[in-house]
Amino acid sequence: MRFRLRRKEYAAHDRLVMAIVNRTTDSFYDKGATWEDEPAYARVRQAVAQGADLVDIGGIKAAPGEEVTVGEELRRVVPFVEGLRAEFRDLTISVDTYRAEVADAVLTAGADVVNDAWGGVDPEVPAVVAAHGAALVLTHTGGQRVRTRPHRVEYDDVVASVIESLTWQAERALAAGVEKERIVIDPAHDFGKNTWHSVECTRRLDELVALGWPVLVSLSNKDFVGESLGRDVGGRLPGTLATTAISAWQGAHIYRVHEVRETRDVLDMVSVIAGDLLPLRTTRGLM
């Protein structure tokens, strides 16, 4: 299996770091640290220097919060994408949006990927992505309404639900003209799920990998990590990295993260152990 993120092609054993850049005032993690242009550009430069393969720009907080109109979302992300494309000609740029109008605008501005984080609630998104020859990330939310938290959600088998939903979404995207190698699937940890569900999705991630689509996981500092270990947001990095290593061993391809350098090291170490990457040096016992 090979996959493409618009301009670039990757092999099945590639493990990519997707750095999160929030153009919001109320992110659960950074509390608006990259709301202003200067720190946002600095964040991208730092992420690239630390080994990020792509960046994911978000103009709306996923959780409940202030209403963000289409016009406001466009204002937050389109000029930033244009600026990034001018500065980073080869950087893969993703935008986290569930709106077709925004997807069209950011792809026109130079983005490569639409990360549709709310399970395809706007059915026009795949056609927009296809028209631009871009890549599309599909997610499972269990039918959760946009920007709401799960409450007593139940599944007979959460992984079966993930597979059913993502297979249907992938077929819809193909029918809309999105090329197979440009479709990525994401079980969407915490979205429409409680902690038990997210843990189960991690434990059985190989079942998603077996579907034949590249798999993205968004694990970084999520609530399921915090609840598993009893840690607030600031103390969730070790749990995140443990989950990252397990996901990598099971074959996930793209990792949406806040801490780029630490994630890059984890993924590269897994790649060395798996035989997909050579150690940077091997002088021990030889000198």
287 pLDDT more than 90: no
27 pLDDT more than 90: no
Residue 246's pLDDT is what? 98
pLDDT, tens digit, for every residue of 66-118?
899 999 999 999 999 999 999 999 999 999 999 999 999 999 999 999 999 99
6 pLDDT more than 90: no
Asked if residue 146 lies in contact with residue 99, where contact means CB atoms within 8 angstroms, the answer is no
Choose, from 222, 236, 264, 284, the residue flagged as catalytic: 222
Task: Based on the residue annotation, tell me whether 222 is a catalytic residue of this protein.
Answer: yes
Asked if residue 149 lies in contact with residue 63, where contact means CB atoms within 8 angstroms, the answer is yes
Tell me the domains of the chain and their CATH numbers. Answer: 2-274 (3.20.20.20)
pLDDT, tens digit, for every residue of 42-63?
999 999 999 999 999 999 999 8
Task: Indicate the pTM of the whole model.
Answer: 0.96
19 pLDDT more than 90: yes
7 pLDDT more than 90: no
Task: Based on the residue annotation, tell me whether 8 is a catalytic residue of this protein.
Answer: no
Choose, from 4, 15, 23, 256, the residue flagged as catalytic: 256
Asked if residue 44 lies in contact with residue 94, where contact means CB atoms within 8 angstroms, the answer is no
Distances (CA, A) of 84 to 112, 113, 283: 12, 14, 40
